[in-house]
Structure 1
Amino acid sequence: MAGSDNDRVGAVETRGIEPVPDAERHGHPGQMFWTWFAANISILGLPLGAALVSFRGLNIWQAVVVAVLGSVGSFALVGALSIAGKRGGAPALTLSRAVFGVRGNAGPTLVTWLSRLGWETINTTTAAFALLALLDVAFGLRRNTVLTVVCLLVFIGCTLLISGLGHATIMWINKWATYAFGLLNLVVIAFLAATVDWHRVLQAPAGPMSAMVVGTGMIAAGTGIGWANAGADYARYLPRDIPGGRLVVASAFGAGIPLIVLISLGSLLAAGEPGLASAADPVAAINTMLPSWMSIPYLIAAFGGLLLSNHLSVYSAGLTMITLGIRVRRTVAVALDMVVTFVGGVYFILIAENFYGPFITFLTLLAVPITAWVGVFAVDMLLRRSYDTDALMNVGRTSRYWYRGGFSWPATTAWAAAIVVGLLFTEASTSATDVWFSGPLADSWIGGNGLGWVVTLTLAAGLHALLRRLADGAGTEAGAQHAEERASTAPTAREHV
Structure 2
Amino acid sequence: MAVSKTNDRVGSVETRGIEPVPDSERRGHAGQMFWTWFAANISILGLPLGATLVAFRGLDIWQAVLVAVLGSFGSFALVGALSLAGKKGGAPALTLSRAVFGQRGNAGPTLITWLSRVGWETISTTTAAYALLALLDTAFGVRKNTVLTLVCLLVFIACTLLISGLGHATIMWINKWATVVFGVLNLVVMGFLISTVDWAKVLDAPAGPASAVVAGVGFIASGTGIGWANAGADYARYLPRAIPGRRLVVASAFGAGIPLVLLISLGSLLSAGDRSLATASDPVAAVNAMLPSWMAIPYLVAAFGGLLMSNHLSTYSAGLTMITLGLRVPRAYAVALDVVLMFAGGIYFMLVAGDFYGPFSTFLTLLAVPISAWIGVVAVDSLRGRDYDPRALMDTTRSSAYWYSGGFRLPAVLGWALAIVAGLLFTKASTSADDVWFAGPLSDTWFGVNGLGWAVSMAVAAAVYALCGRRVPPARGDSGERAAARLQGAGR
Indicate the SS of the match to 1:6.
Answer: coil
String of CA shifts for 1:411-469, please: whole Å, max 9, x gaps. Answer: 00000000001000011111111111110000111100111111111110111010113
State whether residues 67 and 259 of structure 1, in contact with CA within 8 Å, keep that contact through their aligned partners in structure 2. Answer: yes
Please identify runs of 4+ aligned residues in structure 1 that moved more than 6 A: none
Identity of aligned residues (%): 75
Aligned equivalents of 1:215 and 1:298: distance in 2?
28
Aligned equivalents of 1:489 and 1:171: distance in 2?
28
State whether residues 51 and 270 of structure 2, in contact with CA within 8 Å, keep that contact through their aligned partners in structure 1. Answer: yes
More displaced stretch, 32-41 vs 197-206: 197-206
Q: Which residue of 2 aligns with 1:162?
A: 163
State whether residues 385 and 489 of structure 1, in contact with CA within 8 Å, keep that contact through their aligned partners in structure 2. Answer: no
Aligned equivalents of 1:144 and 1:416: distance in 2?
46
Which residues of 2 match residues 89-488 of structure 1 at below 5 A?
89-469=90-470, 482-484=472-474
Aligned equivalents of 1:163 and 1:189: distance in 2?
28
Aligned equivalents of 1:367 and 1:206: distance in 2?
29
Q: CA deviation at 1:316?
A: 0.1
Q: Which residue of 2 aligns with 1:33?
A: 34
Which residues of 2 match residues 52-63 of structure 1 at below 5 A?
52-63=53-64
User: Which blocks of at least 5 consecutive residues in structure 2 are unaligned?
Assistant: 481-492
Aligned equivalents of 1:439 and 1:75: distance in 2?
28
Normalising to structure 2: TM-score of the pair? 0.95
Indicate the SS of the match to 1:185.
Answer: helix
String of CA shifts for 1:91-121, please: whole Å, max 9, x gaps. Answer: 0000000000000000000010011111101
Q: Which residue of 2 aligns with 1:46?
A: 47
User: Which blocks of at least 5 consecutive residues in structure 1 are unaligned?
Assistant: 473-481, 491-497
State whether residues 50 and 268 of structure 1, in contact with CA within 8 Å, keep that contact through their aligned partners in structure 2. Answer: yes
Tell me which amino acid in the other structure corresponds to 1:89: G
Q: Which residue of 1 aligns with 2:490?
A: none
Tell me which amino acid in the other structure corresponds to 1:179: V
More displaced stretch, 200-209 vs 305-314: 200-209
More displaced stretch, 194-203 vs 321-330: 194-203
Q: Across the two proteins, how many residue pairs are aligned to each other?
A: 476
String of CA shifts for 1:197-225, please: whole Å, max 9, x gaps. Answer: 11111111111111110101100000000
Indicate the SS of the match to 2:21.
Answer: coil
Aligned equivalents of 2:36 and 2:428: distance in 1?
32
State whether residues 134 and 296 of structure 1, in contact with CA within 8 Å, keep that contact through their aligned partners in structure 2. Answer: yes
Aligned equivalents of 1:351 and 1:208: distance in 2?
42
Aligned equivalents of 2:66 and 2:436: distance in 1?
33
Aligned equivalents of 1:359 and 1:372: distance in 2?
21
Q: CA deviation at 1:63?
A: 0.9
Q: CA deviation at 1:4?
A: 4.3
Q: CA deviation at 1:485?
A: 5.7
Indicate the SS of the match to 1:403.
Answer: coil
Tell me which amino acid in the other structure corresponds to 2:38: F
State whether residues 51 and 267 of structure 2, in contact with CA within 8 Å, keep that contact through their aligned partners in structure 1. Answer: yes
Aligned equivalents of 2:185 and 2:25: distance in 1?
36
String of CA shifts for 1:338-381, please: whole Å, max 9, x gaps. Answer: 00110111111111111221122112111111110010111111
String of CA shifts for 1:234-271, please: whole Å, max 9, x gaps. Answer: 00000011111000000000000000111111111011
State whether residues 401 and 475 of structure 2, in contact with CA within 8 Å, keep that contact through their aligned partners in structure 1. Answer: no
Aligned equivalents of 1:49 and 1:129: distance in 2?
21
Indicate the SS of the match to 1:483.
Answer: coil
Q: Does 1:66 align with 2:67?
A: yes
Indicate the SS of the match to 2:45.
Answer: helix
State whether residues 16 and 329 of structure 1, in contact with CA within 8 Å, keep that contact through their aligned partners in structure 2. Answer: yes
State whether residues 389 and 475 of structure 2, in contact with CA within 8 Å, keep that contact through their aligned partners in structure 1. Answer: no
Q: Does 1:23 align with 2:24?
A: yes
String of CA shifts for 1:37-86, please: whole Å, max 9, x gaps. Answer: 00001122011111111111111111111111000000000000000000
More displaced stretch, 196-205 vs 321-330: 196-205
String of CA shifts for 1:116-137, please: whole Å, max 9, x gaps. Answer: 1111011111100100000000
Indicate the SS of the match to 2:221.
Answer: helix
String of CA shifts for 1:258-289, please: whole Å, max 9, x gaps. Answer: 00111111111011111211211111111100
More displaced stretch, 52-61 vs 225-234: 52-61
Aligned equivalents of 2:300 and 2:473: distance in 1?
54
The CA RMSD measured in Å over matched residues stands at: 1.4
Tell me which amino acid in the other structure corresponds to 2:387: S
State whether residues 17 and 320 of structure 2, in contact with CA within 8 Å, keep that contact through their aligned partners in structure 1. Answer: yes
State whether residues 390 and 479 of structure 2, in contact with CA within 8 Å, keep that contact through their aligned partners in structure 1. Answer: no
Q: CA deviation at 1:483?
A: 3.0
Aligned equivalents of 1:422 and 1:162: distance in 2?
36
Aligned equivalents of 2:430 and 2:410: distance in 1?
33
String of CA shifts for 1:136-180, please: whole Å, max 9, x gaps. Answer: 000010111111100000000000000000000000000000010
Indicate the SS of the match to 1:450.
Answer: coil
Aligned equivalents of 1:260 and 1:303: distance in 2?
20
Tell me which amino acid in the other structure corresponds to 1:223: T
Indicate the SS of the match to 2:469.
Answer: helix
State whether residues 86 and 236 of structure 2, in contact with CA within 8 Å, keep that contact through their aligned partners in structure 1. Answer: yes
